[in-house]
Amino acid sequence: MMTTYNFSAGPGVMPEEVITQIKQEFEKNEQTHMSIIEISHRSKQFQTIVTDAENKLRQLMHISDEYAVVFLQGGGSTQFEMMPLNFATNHHEIAFLDSGNFAQKAVEAARELGNKVTTLNSTKNMYYQKLPLLPDDFDATTYDYLHIVTNNTIEGATFHQNNLPKTTGRLVADMSSNILAEPYHVSDFDAIFAGGQKNLGPAGVTVAIIKKSWLAEQDVTGVGPMMRYQNHIDKNSMYNTSPVFAIYTLNLVLDWVIQQGGVTEMYRRNLEKSKRLYAYLDQSEFYTAPVEARARSLTNIVFTTGDLEKDKVIAKQATEEGLFNLSGHRSVGGFRASLYNAQPMSAVDALIAFLQKVEQQA
Amino acid sequence: MMTTYNFSAGPGVMPEEVITQIKQEFEKNEQTHMSIIEISHRSKQFQTIVTDAENKLRQLMHISDEYAVVFLQGGGSTQFEMMPLNFATNHHEIAFLDSGNFAQKAVEAARELGNKVTTLNSTKNMYYQKLPLLPDDFDATTYDYLHIVTNNTIEGATFHQNNLPKTTGRLVADMSSNILAEPYHVSDFDAIFAGGQKNLGPAGVTVAIIKKSWLAEQDVTGVGPMMRYQNHIDKNSMYNTSPVFAIYTLNLVLDWVIQQGGVTEMYRRNLEKSKRLYAYLDQSEFYTAPVEARARSLTNIVFTTGDLEKDKVIAKQATEEGLFNLSGHRSVGGFRASLYNAQPMSAVDALIAFLQKVEQQA
């Protein structure tokens, strides 16, 4: 059987050990009528899973008791609405740094909810290959918060911990595509959220990390119960029926990350994987990795031959050789190799070997 | 190995054939990095699954092209908010029939969103053992819609197709716990929704069936993109990352229902299962099934010895004998045997045998 690798930007590759554990779960419960997707979210079995998952995430990210951790549904897109509904309660104005598609989507959602939105800076005219800087004269006091996207899944630029915008106001981060991939100080943020389907687990669960004292300040009115963080916090992520399978799998993934050595070890591996690929691309005269060096993503490596039609042909050829989902997002084209935590180094080596072969035949 | 049965009210028992198919999916993809939870929601494989699932649901429920069908996240509780946000746009007033806990929750959500809510009738003072009737003088023209819960999962009373309230206005139904369990004429409703975790699949997916012409009349403003049905309809349930595994499993369940003979056959079996259990309970002098005859649920059979402490002891004993999750909802106590589509007749027979044994020993 051909060895295959999956470079999907998400939902994407998961640890093989986790897939095996899921298989065993269904194998064991083929006739019991009590598999993980058949048990009540109020069962002790599931309540233990939720508590374990929260504790493991706290351990991995060093999340203090000053923050609540909740598991929700609806992906990052629902967070684009919950954040304004719960936190844009004073100025009704939110500041954004436009670093790509998902920053723009968050702006749009906040606007549709009736808030004023200010895009402080955008690198759209540079195809988001550089990070937008926080203006020197930024006055945080007139906004409810500043929203950033730490890793731009489509465009490949990242606010790493060492190049985060320095604001004296509240800071909200969408970490959907690089949570647990590199270290961040949670205490630098007032809220963090991440869709599950990259480094955390399958699609269908979203993590939100909320500074309790900030939430306590809010006067949230005219908002439905499901859109209020406080309800989910009060009920330990079981305000209504939780997405049981997604949280079960998330818990297995967190276990795996801990067993592998935690975020420190993930970061070491992700640096090694991405550096090896960028090094190959940078020395190549055939491919270009256009994102500025200091902002390069560890998880979504964007590159191109400069000819989008040629890129498509090569991506198709890659598929035939067992290297799946290398096409860039439909909005930008080119290539995107997603190197999430579960992506083994062997995938990077196989990708480089393939790219070299194509380059030599060109 | 002891034969075990799962009477959970949801998430609950699924068809054994579906559990086997899921096991095989993970078995087959243990090393490919391309299992169902690792593929993109934009992949052809998943797009086919979504289209298939929609077509199968349309086939099973005879849903015409006048209705849109979408797969969402957040469960019925999120629908309690999406319905008012999308449809209470004219009068900002909604009528409810209070038939139990989930009707009350819908009232509360609509109220918190700033709507006027009118509870036309309630059977709360009868412990919801009867259905609330629509008042004869009900004037539908002053409300945006009437909201009902077809099957009351906790209390066990059901608006069957033959005892639906007759309104000249718009009718919205929460069918979370009896969709596909008994036949309804979709054309009698303007919107139907159901959380997945009873008869449709695992927790984490919600089905909404929306009359397109009604939605087209609405002027929806100040609502975020994720809470607008039209966005999900326009993008074929892929407005953002879909809950891939939950929809995959839903599709398997729909396949199974079709193979078994569709809703007609499910209804025949559910009638047979529930009648057998009610018949036993009604002739017993030890147990009582308190719901009025015409409204008795086919899916959630509620009963008690009349002594809630004794009920608890018996439910615990049942667990030891492999009959799981027979306790009533924590808000009401007693017993609740959920007999969803995937519950085999053998489970009912095992339950009756157990109940008889307890009765004889009492």
Contacts of A174 (CB under 8 A, 6+ apart): A76, A79, A102, A103, A106, A147, A148, A149, A150, A193, A194
Mark yes or no for CB contact A325/B40 under 8 Å. yes
pLDDT bin (cut points 50, 70, 90) of residue B352 is very high
Interface with A, mutate which of B13, B28, B37, B111 (most A CBs under 10 A): B37
**What single-letter amino acid sits at B276?**
R
Among residues A284, A260, A267, the alpha carbon closest in space to that of A351 is found at A284
Q: pLDDT at residue A338 above 90?
A: yes
Counted across chains A and B, CB pairs separated by less than 8 A come out at: 234
The annotation places the binding site of B for pyridoxal 5'-phosphate at: 76-77, 102, 153, 174, 197, 240-241
Over residues A153-204, the pLDDT tens digits come to 999 999 999 999 999 999 999 999 999 999 999 999 999 999 999 999 999 9
Q: What is the pLDDT of residue A103?
A: 98
Q: pLDDT at residue B331 above 90?
A: no
What are the chain A neighbours of B5 within 8 Å (beta carbons)? 33
Tokens of B316: 């615990």
Using CB atoms, which residue from A14, A34, A224 is nearest to B38? A14
pLDDT bin (cut points 50, 70, 90) of residue A318 is very high
Query: Using an 8 Å Cβ cutoff, are B191 and B47 in contact?
Result: no
Q: pLDDT at residue A1 above 80?
A: no
Using CB atoms, which residue from B12, B16, B226 is nearest to A77? B226
Among residues A41, A73, A57, the alpha carbon closest in space to that of A206 is found at A73
Q: What is the pLDDT of residue B56?
A: 98
- In whole angstroms, what is the distance from residue A204 CA to residue A66 CA? 26
Mark yes or no for CB contact B202/A16 under 8 Å. no
Mark yes or no for CB contact A6/B30 under 8 Å. no
Q: What is the pLDDT of residue A214?
A: 98
Which helix (H) or strand (E) segment is B60 a member of?
Answer: helix B44-61
What burial class does residue A137 get, using C-beta atoms within 10 Å of its C-beta: 0-12 exposed, 13-18 middle, 19+ buried?
exposed
Q: How many CB atoms lie within 10 A of CB B2?
A: 7
- In whole angstroms, what is the distance from residue A204 CA to residue B241 CA? 8
- In whole angstroms, what is the distance from residue A22 CA to residue A30 CA? 12
Listed as own residue / partner, the contacts of B15-21 with beta carbons closer than 8 Å and 24 or more positions apart are B15/B253, B15/B256, B15/B341, B15/B342, B16/A30, B16/A31, B16/A33, B16/B342, B17/B256, B18/B249, B18/B252, B18/B253, B18/B256, B18/B342, B19/A26, B19/A29, B19/A30, B19/A35, B19/A37, B19/A38, B20/A26, B20/A30, B21/B252
Mark yes or no for CB contact A40/B11 under 8 Å. yes
Q: pLDDT at residue A2 above 90?
A: no
Contacts of A336 (CB under 8 A, 6+ apart): A7, A9, A154, A156, A300, A301, A302, A303, A326, A327, A328, A329
Name the 3-class secondary structure at A324.
Answer: strand
Mark yes or no for CB contact A225/B109 under 8 Å. yes
The annotation places the binding site of A for pyridoxal 5'-phosphate at: 76-77, 102, 153, 174, 197, 240-241
Mark yes or no for CB contact A225/B112 under 8 Å. yes
Over residues B195-252, the pLDDT tens digits come to 999 999 999 999 999 999 999 999 999 999 999 999 999 999 999 999 999 999 999 9
Using CB atoms, which residue from A11, A26, A78 is nearest to B23? A26
What are the chain A neighbours of B20 within 8 Å (beta carbons)? 26, 30
What are the chain B neighbours of A339 within 8 Å (beta carbons)? none
- In whole angstroms, what is the distance from residue B215 CA to residue A198 CA? 34
- Check if the interface score ipTM surpasses 0.95: yes
Q: pLDDT at residue A232 above 80?
A: yes
Mark yes or no for CB contact A108/B225 under 8 Å. yes
- Residue A36 to chain B, least CA–CA distance (Å): 9
Q: What is the pLDDT of residue B94?
A: 98
Q: What is the pLDDT of residue B332?
A: 86
- In whole angstroms, what is the distance from residue B107 CA to residue A227 CA? 16
Query: Using an 8 Å Cβ cutoff, are B303 and B186 in contact?
Result: no
Query: Using an 8 Å Cβ cutoff, are B184 and B170 in contact?
Result: no
Using CB atoms, which residue from A8, A224, A241 is nearest to B81? A224
Q: pLDDT at residue B1 above 80?
A: no
Q: What is the mean pLDDT of chain A?
A: 97
Among residues A61, A255, A87, A263, the alpha carbon closest in space to that of A171 is found at A87
Q: pLDDT at residue A22 above 90?
A: yes
pLDDT bin (cut points 50, 70, 90) of residue A322 is very high
Q: What is the pLDDT of residue A331?
A: 83
Over residues B238-263, the pLDDT tens digits come to 999 999 999 999 999 999 999 999 99
- In whole angstroms, what is the distance from residue B6 CA to residue B16 CA? 12
Q: What is the pLDDT of residue A362?
A: 85
What are the chain B neighbours of A239 within 8 Å (beta carbons)? 77
Average pLDDT over residues B123-150: 97
Average pLDDT over residues B301-326: 97
- Residue A55 to chain B, least CA–CA distance (Å): 22
Q: Return the ∠ at Cα A182 (arms to A179 and A187), rounded to 5°.
A: 70
Interface with A, mutate which of B33, B104, B247, B252 (most A CBs under 10 A): B33
What are the chain A neighbours of B12 within 8 Å (beta carbons)? 38, 40
Mark yes or no for CB contact B225/A77 under 8 Å. yes
The answer, yes or no, to whether the previous bond of B11 is cis (omega within 30 of 0) is yes
- Residue B7 to chain A, least CA–CA distance (Å): 9
Task: At A6, give phi and psi (nearest 5°).
Answer: -120, 110
Query: Using an 8 Å Cβ cutoff, are B122 and B98 in contact?
Result: yes
Over residues B144-188, the pLDDT tens digits come to 999 999 999 999 999 999 999 999 999 999 999 999 999 999 999
What burial class does residue B213 get, using C-beta atoms within 10 Å of its C-beta: 0-12 exposed, 13-18 middle, 19+ buried?
exposed
Over residues B29-86, the pLDDT tens digits come to 999 999 999 999 999 999 999 999 999 999 999 999 999 999 999 999 999 999 999 9
Q: What is the pLDDT of residue B223?
A: 98
pTM summary value: 0.98
